[in-house]
Amino acid sequence: MLKKILGRLGGTRLNVALSLVLKGCGAVLSLAFNWGIAKLYGPLGSGLYGITQTSIVILGCAAMGGLDYVMLRGVATDIKAGNHGHARSLVRTACKAGLISALVVSLLIFALHEPAAHWLGNAGMSTMLIVAAPAAFGLAAMRLSSFALRGGGNVILSQAMEGAITSSLTVAMIVLVWMMPQLPPVWSIGVIYSLSLLGTGAIGFIAYARMRKSWPKGEKVALWPLYAMGLPTVGAVLTNQSTEWISLTATGAFHSAEAAGKLRVALQIMAISNLIVASFDGIIGPQVAAAWSVGDRARIARISRQAILGTVGLTLPLFLVAAIFPDWILGLFSHDFRSAATALQIIAFGYFIALSGGPSGTILLMCGRERWSLAYSLAGTVLMLGLCAWLVPQYGVTGGAIAVSGTMIFRRLVAGLLVRFDLKIKIFA
């Protein structure tokens, strides 16, 4: 089955296979890191880290202003057209602006950590935010270098950076913490997060510097047109990424950091499927952009169908285990997490339905429909806020799970309709 799917993906067969291996390793390592946090610090540690990490992701991605996605699409198109000089200039302009903005965000997090911790509903997060502040810059460095490599054709290293490499660094450091004679404070998790992203970003830029050696210098690329294209994209990305952040923050504010930690673990278990989906999306993204530039809708639809078959086939065992044996899975982290069994089942259902709809969001972004992506993503965020305000105070972790699943299904449904009726791409024809 998998061999047939990969074969139909043509020249990307080896890339997809290797990417799946890397993403699989990254998923296992990421889960191991979160398992280590749960074992060492319990639901409280999982909750504090979850709220901090999702906050950093939101702020770090906002700092880039969508330049990472614009760069990916532009570099992929330039390389296909043989315009390596323009690709090099595009990367330089986007990376310079994105990194400067991310540095400013890191400094602001450091300066405003106390009011930010109060706003997030837990004064104990203050120190965590201080040590995690550099992670915003590290996240930008990792994503910008990864997307530059991916657009330039080094898809495997790009995929490894966003999974296996970063997770390997976090696991190595959590093992060191485990071996210490005395358990360090919970804010040590923030130090680990920052160092892992900074290290991965450094690896990415070293690799990109080597890749661009053969590229000629091109004319200077104007920055503001890139922002004009990127801001709608980052709006869509941020609203999609805000789902977990809103659910965790609401659960922590209305209940406790421990409750947020239980929801976080349930979300992280199902996030394994996200890494598999991201593996396929990372491969097909540049291809979709290239195919759209020549009006090849049939190829986009064909690649999308095979991606759906691959992701559903590879993630189905996880969904079944989560739906049938939720207590057992959560018990692996600690008996304190078993009360989130119903939440895990609800999240698994939402993930499966959303995943079955195909890579509609990626298609919209790669085909230049950033404004549509922003519109339906904003609508999903409004829905998420409403569901959390309604369900979380009364149902706690379970209410947060319902809000997450409902929002994911809504967004995927709307994205699928836009691909079908706006782009005229018949994925399921």
- Residue with the bigger pLDDT between 162 and 142: it is 142
What mean pLDDT comes out for the span 231-239?
A: 76
Which pLDDT score is estimated for 5?
Answer: 45
Residue 1's pLDDT band (cuts 50, 70, 90): very low
Rounded average pLDDT over 268-272: 84
Nearest alpha carbon to residue 341 among 325, 319, 318: 325
Q: Is the pLDDT of residue 221 over 90?
A: no
- Segment 383-395, tens digit of pLDDT: 999 999 999 999 9
Whether the Cβ atoms of residue 340 and residue 262 lie closer than 8 Å to each other: yes
Residue 115: pLDDT band (50, 70, 90) is: confident
Q: What is the CA radius of gyration of the chain?
A: 21
User: What angle do helix axes 297-324 and 257-293 make, rounded to 10 degrees?
Assistant: 160
Taking residue 202's Cβ as centre, other Cβ atoms within 10 Å add up to 14
User: What confidence tier does 15 reach under pLDDT thresholds 50, 70, 90?
Assistant: low
- What was the pLDDT predicted at 69? 86
Contact criterion met (CB below 8 Å) for 261 and 53: no
Percentage with pLDDT > 90 across the chain: 42
What mean pLDDT is reported for the chain?
86
* Percent of the chain at pLDDT exceeding 70: 93
Domain range summary for the chain, segments of one domain joined by +: 2-421
Q: What is the mean pLDDT of residues 267-290?
A: 78
CA distance 385 to 346: 18
Average pLDDT (183-189) is 92
| Cβ 340 vs Cβ 295: under 8 Å | no
| Entry pTM | 0.80
